[in-house]
Amino acid sequence: MVRRSADGRVEVLSSIVASQIADHAPYGGVVPEIAARAHVEVIDLVTAEAMAAAGVEYADLTGIAATAGPGLVGGVMVGLSFGKAVALARGLPLVAVNHLEGHALSARLGADLPYPFLLLLVSGGHCQLLAVAGVGAHRRLGTTIDDAAGEAFDKIAKALGLGYPGGPALERLAEGGDPGRFELPRMLLGRAGCDFSFSGLKTAAARLAETVISDVERRDLASAVQAAIARQLAERTDRAMVQYARDHEGRALRFVVAGGVAANRAVRARLEETAAARGFSFTAPPLAYCTDNAAMIALVGAERLAAGMVDGLDAVARPRWPLDEAAAANRPTHPAGRKGAKA
């Protein structure tokens, strides 16, 4: 829950997260049916807790923001339906928020960050470079053609026998490791542009994980994986910075990294070095707002509401919802006929 002043400043009143990690841990990943049922069971309790923490009543609200996608559609439908019910009952405007835009603006929760800026959105399900001109104005410069960086972290961590969620566990294991001990593939070296690929790295590291025995080997492999992911993120971001600087000549150059992988210290350090070398300022959300959270969705709702960008009660839950819909339609990363979750 946030309060946005007329000058655009934002105060976070509450941000309550009901974690499902314990529910999914036995399966090594998110189970859609369990996730949807858990949403149903706690959404009214979480809402009540958030309002109590913020010290507000329903009469104090000026709008309702609810995630409408992208994501596992069962959970998305629960939250959106609850938001619609409150908006209808209280006669309040509804803002159906793109979850990715929540991450895109999350750095504005902890810093005075004017538009425009270059964004690297890097999480378990998404890896994109975007030029962000303002709320609702995102231009895609690059995206993953297969797996996201966070997905690679999680799958490799699982191959190493680490717990769920795998990303933080792999980061802990990598501390003090030798990243040069194992040679891992560098993807898309001959390909122009700013797209990413982590599938080959994920497969190679998972196969190596089957051969490592000692704790030292496991630590070195984790360190090598972390370094390889950070390297590709930095290399592709560097290309995007060159393009972005050319398109924004004479303007302040700002770089933002957001999403769950932005919490990784090695990734942050490598990207911060890249930004400094290209003359960009560097901003990342506070750690509490890197992973999925309520405040970032409320922020997007407040900014869209201030701009008059509201939605009807017929807004639909969307399992897929690109921020740059024109780029997704004109330059799809997955050709027609491709099957699978990312098609």
Q: What mean pLDDT is reported for the chain?
A: 93
Q: Which two tokens stand for residue 89?
A: 């009952």
* Arch. (CATH architecture) of 2-104+290-330: 2-Layer Sandwich (3.30)
* Of the candidates 111, 143, 118, 108, the residue with the CA atom closest to the CA atom of residue 278: 118
Q: How much is the average pLDDT of 158-182?
A: 93
- Tell me the pairing of strands 2-4 and 254-258: unpaired
The pLDDT of residue 194 is 96
Q: Which two tokens stand for residue 238?
A: 């560097």
Residues 232-242 have pLDDT tens digits of 999 999 999 99
The pLDDT of residue 30 is 85
Q: Which two tokens stand for residue 265?
A: 């210290």
Q: What are phi and psi of 104, to 5 degrees?
A: -60, -35
Tokens 């003090």 correspond to 176
How far apart, in whole angstroms, are the C-alpha atoms of residue 67 and residue 75? Answer: 10
pLDDT at 90 over 50: yes
How far apart, in whole angstroms, are the C-alpha atoms of residue 62 and residue 97? Answer: 16
pLDDT at 339 over 70: no
Measuring CA to CA, how many Å separate 328 from each of 59, 233, 320?
A: 40, 21, 11
Residues 186-215 have pLDDT tens digits of 988 888 999 999 999 999 999 999 998 899
Where does residue 105 rank: exposed (0-12), middle (13-18), buried (19+ CB within 10 A)?
A: buried
For residues 194 and 241, the answer to whether their CB atoms sit within 8 Å is: no
The pLDDT of residue 335 is 59
Q: How much is the average pLDDT of 107-136?
A: 94
The pLDDT of residue 210 is 92
Write down the domain spans for the chain: 2-104+290-330, 115-284
AA letter at 231: R
2-104+290-330 shares its CATH topology with 115-284: yes
Residues 17-73 have pLDDT tens digits of 988 888 888 887 788 888 889 899 999 999 999 999 999 999 999 999 999 999 999
Q: Which two tokens stand for residue 130?
A: 């975007």
175 confidence band (pLDDT: 50, 70, 90): very high
Residues 232-289 have pLDDT tens digits of 999 999 999 999 999 999 999 999 999 999 999 999 999 999 999 999 999 999 999 9
Measuring CA to CA, how many Å separate 100 from each of 173, 200, 320?
A: 29, 25, 10
AA letter at 170: L
Higher model confidence: residue 20 or residue 176?
176
Measuring CA to CA, how many Å separate 129 from each of 67, 251, 324?
A: 21, 19, 11
The pLDDT of residue 338 is 54
Q: What are phi and psi of 200, to 5 degrees?
A: -65, -40
- Tell me the pairing of strands 64-69 and 94-98: parallel
The pLDDT of residue 341 is 44
Q: How much is the average pLDDT of 92-112?
A: 95
How far apart, in whole angstroms, are the C-alpha atoms of residue 104 and residue 257? Answer: 8
Which CATH number is 115-284's, of 3.30.420.40, 3.40.720.10, 2.40.30.10, 3.30.930.10?
3.30.420.40
